[in-house]
Amino acid sequence: IFLQSSFDFKLLATLLGTLLSLLYFIQKQRLEEMKLFREIFAECNERYDRMNEGLNAIMDGPDNQPLKPTEYMLLIDYFNLCGEEFLYYAQGYIFPSVWRAWHNGMKFFIRNPRIAAVWKPQKKTKSYYCLPL
């Protein structure tokens, strides 16, 4: 009887230790994923914040006014940011609710004729990770 209870205790201790190690690993993995998400989220928002004023100026310009070279390059930078954001989402690094918010903002800008005129030929190049706009 003593041998059997000693064996049961060792088995129980081993199983409990394995379970605790697994839980620790899962928690550590989730924390690392959250940290990565926060870094990506912060960087993308910071980049967008630097473009926001220029994007709004393009939106406010007359539809028939051609873009300045700086405005065109700003749009290319914006499309690159959007493509990266979509890639992060597609790879599972961005939460679906965050992607929906970002995607809604992208669709808002793309509806502008001046921006759409740049986006349409760019989309054909497939340079933006198949960004769905």
User: What are the tens digits of pLDDT across the range 20-54?
Assistant: 899 988 898 889 999 999 999 999 999 999 999 99
Query: Does the pTM of the predicted model rise above 0.85?
Result: no
Task: Compute the mean pLDDT over every residue in the chain, rounded to the nearest whole number.
Answer: 92
Q: Distance between CA atoms of 53 and 51, rounded to whole angstroms?
A: 6
Q: Is the dihedral of CA 98, 99, 100, 104 positive or negative?
A: positive
Q: Distance between CA atoms of 39 and 93, rounded to whole angstroms?
A: 10
User: What are the tens digits of pLDDT across the range 46-84?
Assistant: 999 999 999 999 999 999 999 999 999 999 999 999 999
Q: Residue 7 — pLDDT band, cuts 50, 70, 90?
A: low
Closest CA to 76 of 45, 122, 132, 129: 122
Return the pLDDT at 39: 97
Return the pLDDT at 82: 97
Flag whether pLDDT at 4 surpasses 70.
no
Return the pLDDT at 9: 78
pLDDT > 90: what percent of the chain? Answer: 71
